[in-house]
Amino acid sequence: MDDKLIFEKSSNSRIAYDFAEYEHKYALSDKYQRKEELLFPEVSELDVVRHFTNLSKKNFGVDEGFYPLGSCTMKYNPKINEELAGLRQFNNVHPLQDEKTVQGCLEIYYNTSKLLEEITGMAKFSFAPCAGAHGELTGLMVMKKYFEERGEFNRKKVIVPVSAHGTNPASAAVCGFEIAVCNCVSDGCVDVEMLKGMLDENVAGIMLTNPSTLGIFEKDILTISKLVHKNGSLMYYDGANLNAVLGYVKTIDMGFDIMHINLHKTFSTPHGGGGPGSGPVGVREDLVKYLPNPIVEKKNDKYHFVYSKKSIGKVSTFYGNFNVVIKAYAYILSLGKEHISDVSRLAVLNANYIKESLKDEYILPIDRHCKHEVVFDGIKDHKVSTLDIAKRLLDYGYHPPTIYFPLLFHETLMIEPTENESKETLDGFINVMKKIAHEDIEVLKTAPHTTIVRRLDDVKAARFPKVKYRDLL
Amino acid sequence: MQYKYFPHTEKDIKEMLSVIGVNTIDDLFSDIDDSLKEKDFNLPSSMDEISLRKHIFEIAKKNKELNIFRGAGSYNVYVPSIIKPILERQEFLTSYTPYQAEISQGTLQYIFEYQSYICELTGMDVSNASMYDGASASFESIMMACNHTRKKDVIIADTINPNYLEVIKTYSHFHGYNLKFAKSKDYILDTKDVLAKIDENVACVICQYPNFYGYLEDYDFVAKLKERKILFILIGAPSNYAYIKSPRELGADIACGDCQMMGINMSFGGPYIGYISCVNELLRKLPGRIVGLTEDVDGKRGFVLTLQAREQHIRREKATSNICSNESLMALNVCIYCACMGKKGMYEVSDIRFQNAHILHDELLKHGFKDVNKNEFFNEFVLEYKGDLNKISKQLEKQGYLSGLIIDKNKMLFCATEMNSIEDIKSFAKMFEMKEAL
């Protein structure tokens, strides 16, 4: 197996590009010129293609196998969406062209917002945020702006449940809020009694995802939103788990005022190894004026950018990850009203099927109907760690579930199968999970055995950081 | 319920429900209050693939592709043909963040190579795995500097990209930083004003190189900053640094900006890719993911996400940033571009941009434009015009040109790249003469 860096394949004077001949008529003053030598590879075009093709073989994607990574909604990324987003008329337009010449782009933004408005009940979406955490931050800025406008500068606190994604408290901190952590009761739902005690005149809002990160629907959601609103605070919905209730519950009906959606989770755009994503933020009617500038409106069959004087301002260089939005738009149109609710229904069916099938071998801390994902607390008797199980799954050709999150249990295994997986695929996975439960402990502790590299030394990587090619010379 | 993305047959569903021990799928939603269950979603009917393709083709046709002489943060650049097929490989496209290192060596290695390229170009010691875009990377750099120095005042050159400035203002307002704007004259930073604004509360000075207007500024205040332990942040496009002085050579502590110029389509503004790189002393203040080299249990070389104790999934509200998903696939785009251009091509593409911009500049001077200063520029520059630029811009658009960006009523910011041929440049410049006559 080829395991060299491209820098190690370099040979003097090879090239992988060509430009037409040109004249060096103008020269930059010496004082502005770079002096240090550039250590870049010198390779041929085929060298480049082979290098990356071989690198790709060291990865694992949704297209090749089951990827039940909890909280990440690793659903199928339809090929038609890629084709449509790749159209040259979308790729070759400059973001600062006149509105008249980019009506197609504006229409995509406008139409996608309309669809998301119908799905969630929010009044308008901004596509400026480039990822989920970026959406959280933007939504929290809207929240803060709302209280600033009302002169309620005392509202400096945001409540986050202990089970929340790490981005929630981190986003609140970047937005300049103080964080107050609310506990969960034994079924993973918010401790409403504790919440009551936390609500006071300093609370701006609460960030929740529903179902929670334990995959359990927050049954007291209407009570919670009433309490929060009565306190004059706002409800923020983290759309990370929207797939569980897509086409089943409208976010606004649960009492949420602000939300973000991860288009790269719920709306099938590819994760790309960690982005580009898109984290549109939607708000209720009276908060639309605070959304990032600009938003797109339609007038006399023409699309326009609209700038609000009350807006929080800009949060990205231009208008967000436009190309990703095209893919989500195509996906929603393909689903249509006929299939949208089957997304959540089948995702929930799949998760519950795994839950029932594995609860003899794995510890099920919350034995209730789950939603789109199920959480186990490791293997019965804890004979090996969750890490060992995850690593052993690699030998069987599966991407492991999310491990050690949420933090409520010691050996968390969080499985999210998505609606795209067939019963045969789930049965295959269930059989392997059962088999692992009875395997020799030594085999599990030393897994994986068949991958191109085996367990890697994280401590060494952190103690002596080598983070670029020059560090190896 | 037959639909191409759902594999479930009626028989499957029945069997699965019986294992679960319920009668219908709706029983699995019995914990949801009935009042919350929405019966009717007013969405369009499901579109088959042929209709969907037609629908989106029709929308795409409403865009107009123009012959581009505008930059201002988004550049019409050459995208090598090999980029698209590699980006579309499912192993890269459909994978998640490389948390399971043993089956993510592909992603981890290209991030390591990306970090190497960014460090090489900027001259910095470390880079992270990418940020959303240039604007957010600029604010995150400020946050690094303020955390490191434990100060909250920021001196910011008013010659940086105005969109970046807007984003920095938004973030700073909510986070609680004080921005002090250093003035400029004739589109060049007044470095005396930077010096005048320095006091004990200042965490950093942030400038853009070349500045938003394309000009190369002289940062004669750097020694003073070092003396007072104030950090220097430089915004810029890494590809330019194969040609002009790198941020390290200019004395910067943090280099940030956008890599869009490295083979990424304009795509109406995104996705692009922000970057942050810095000196070793600031390593633990870097936001986001970092890939490091290590060994497996057999002593074989491999890559892992490292120094994760800085990140939100470990440190929560105490993390260096809230960033999680970044722009990983765009980092791969940058890697392929850098490998393709190589040592010689990185210099050459910048030289072509430089030559073409200067040809454009000289041609425009022949057709009614005047310089606004005598400073050297890279591939963008500002010219003054006596006619009505608004009117002319609209005329040019009808002829298929995207002219420079109007930045003042009689001033225009022009840009040339490797995509503008000399013939194009000459005929574009001539258009101004014709319009003037109209």
CATH class of B67-76+342-437: alpha beta
Residues A147 and A31 in one domain: no
Q: Which of B15, B322, B343 sits opposite A423 (nearest CB)?
A: B15
Q: What is the DSSP string of B232-267?
A: EEEE--GGGGGTBPPTTTTT-SEEEEE-TTTT---G
Percent of chain A with pLDDT strictly greater than 70: 100
- Quick check: is A452 in a domain? yes
Residues A307 and A426 in one domain: no
**What is the CATH number assigned to the segment(s) B83-336?**
3.40.640.10
Residue A1: per-residue pLDDT:
65
The contacts of residue B9 (CB under 8 Å, 6+ apart) are none
* Interface size, chain A vs chain B, as Cβ–Cβ contacts under 8 Å: 650
Taking CB atoms and an 8 Å cutoff, what residues of chain A touch B306?
458, 461-462, 465, 467
Same domain, A176 and A274: yes
Q: Could you tell me the residue ranges of all domains in chain B?
A: 67-76+342-437, 83-336
> Residue A122 falls within a domain, yes or no?
yes
CA of residue B50 relative to chain centroid, distance:
35
Cα(B250)–Cα(B263) distance, rounded to whole angstroms?
26
Cβ-proximal residues to A143 (8 Å cutoff; 6+ apart), any chain: A158, A204, A205, A234, A236, A258
A232 contact B CB<8A: no
Domain assignment of residue A368, yes or no: yes
Beta bridge partners of B401: B67
CA distance B206 to B156: 5
Global pTM exceeds 0.90: yes
Contact state of A312 with B359 under an 8 Å Cβ cutoff: no
C-alpha B12/C-alpha B250 separation (Å) is: 66
Q: Are B70 and B393 in contact (CB under 8 A)?
A: no
Interface list for B 138-197 with A (CB within 8 A) = 143, 161, 163-164, 166-167, 169-171, 173-176
CA distance A333 to chain B (A): 6
pLDDT for position A29: 97
A236 and A89 within one domain: yes
Of A335, A368, A390, at which residue does a domain stop?
A335
Contact A103 B176 (CB under 8 A): no
Instruction: Tell me if chain B has a CB within 8 Å of the CB of A89.
Output: yes
pLDDT digits (tens, 9 = 90+) for A128-137: 999 999 999 9
* Closest chain B residue to A342, measured at CA: B1
Residues of B whose CB is below 8 A from A367 = none
* A273 with B97: Cβ contact below 8 A: yes
Domain-embedded: residue A261:
yes
**What distance, in Å, lies between the first and last C-alpha atoms of chain B?**
63
Question: Which among B5, B38, B242 has the least Cβ separation from residue A78?
Answer: B5
- Same structural domain for residues A96 and A21? no
Residue A382: count of CB within 10 angstroms of its CB: 12
Domain of A49, in residue numbers? 6-56
Amino acid at A384: V
Q: What is the reported pLDDT for B386?
A: 86
- The answer to whether residue A74 is domain-embedded is no
Residue bearing tokens 């010689």: B344
Do A314 and A453 share a structural domain? no
Residue A393 sits in a domain whose CATH number is: 3.90.1150.10
Q: Which residues of B touch A176 (CB under 8 A)?
A: 174-176
Last residue of a domain, which of A335, A370, A385?
A: A335
Q: Are residues A394 and A450 in the same domain?
A: yes
Distance CA A276, CA B326 (A): 6
CB contact under 8 A, B136 and A130: yes
Q: What is the mean pLDDT of chain A?
A: 97
- For residue B176, which residues of chain A lie inside 8 Å, CB to CB? 176
Closest CA to B168 of B225, B86, B233: B233
Residue type for A295, please? I
Tell me if A456 and B352 make a contact (CB, 8 A cut-off).
no
- Beta strand pairing status for A178-182 and A157-161? parallel
Residue B121 touches chain A, beta carbons under 8 Å: yes
DSSP B17-38: HHHHT-SSGGGGGTTS-GGGB-
- Are A154 and A126 contained in the same domain? yes
Residue A445 inside a domain? The answer is yes
> Tens-digit pLDDT profile for chain B (438 aa)?
699 999 999 999 999 999 999 999 999 999 999 999 987 899 999 999 999 999 999 999 999 999 999 999 999 999 999 999 999 999 999 999 999 999 999 999 999 999 999 999 999 999 999 999 999 999 999 999 999 999 999 999 999 999 999 999 999 999 999 999 999 999 999 999 999 999 999 999 999 999 999 999 999 999 999 999 999 999 999 999 999 999 999 999 999 999 999 999 999 999 999 999 999 999 999 999 999 999 999 999 999 999 998 888 888 888 889 999 999 999 999 999 999 999 999 999 999 999 999 999 999 999 989 999 999 999 999 999 988 899 999 999 999 999 999 999 899 999 999 999 999 999 999 998 865 545
The number of distinct structural domains making up chain A is 3
Of B7, B245, B295, the CB nearest to A457: B295
Give the span between the Cα atoms of B313 and B316, in whole angstroms.
6
Q: Does the pLDDT at position A350 exceed 70?
A: yes
- Establish if A192 touches chain B: CB-CB under 8 angstroms: no
Residue B13 to chain A, least CA–CA distance (Å): 8
Tens digit of each residue's pLDDT (9 = 90 or more) over A269-294: 999 999 999 999 999 999 999 999 99
Q: What is the dihedral of CA A352, A356, A360, A364, to 10 degrees?
A: 40
Concatenated DSSP letters for B304-346?
EE--GGGSHHHHGGGSS----S--HHHHHHHHHHHHHHHHHHH
Do A232 and A316 reside in the same domain of the chain?
A: yes
A396 and A453 belong to one structural domain: yes
Asked whether residue A270 is assigned to any structural domain, the reply reads yes
For position B437, what pLDDT does the model report? 44
Contact A470 B345 (CB under 8 A): no
Residue B419 in tokens: 């995509």
Q: Does B423 touch chain A (CB under 8 A)?
A: no
Task: Establish if A70 belongs to a structural domain.
Answer: no
SS3 for B198-213 is: CCCCEEEEEEECCCCC
Interface check A465 vs B, CB under 8 A = yes
**Is the CB of A315 less than 8 angstroms away from the CB of B175?**
no
Residues A346 and A212 occupy one common structural domain: no
Q: Does A77 touch chain B (CB under 8 A)?
A: yes
Return d(Cα A330, Cα A335) in angstroms, integer: 9
Per-window interface: B 202-241 vs A, CB < 8 A: 216, 241
Of B5, B53, B64, the CB nearest to A420: B5
- A137 to chain B, any CB pair closer than 8 A? The answer is yes
Statement to judge: residues A353 and A319 lie in one domain? no
Q: Are B85 and A52 in contact (CB under 8 A)?
A: no
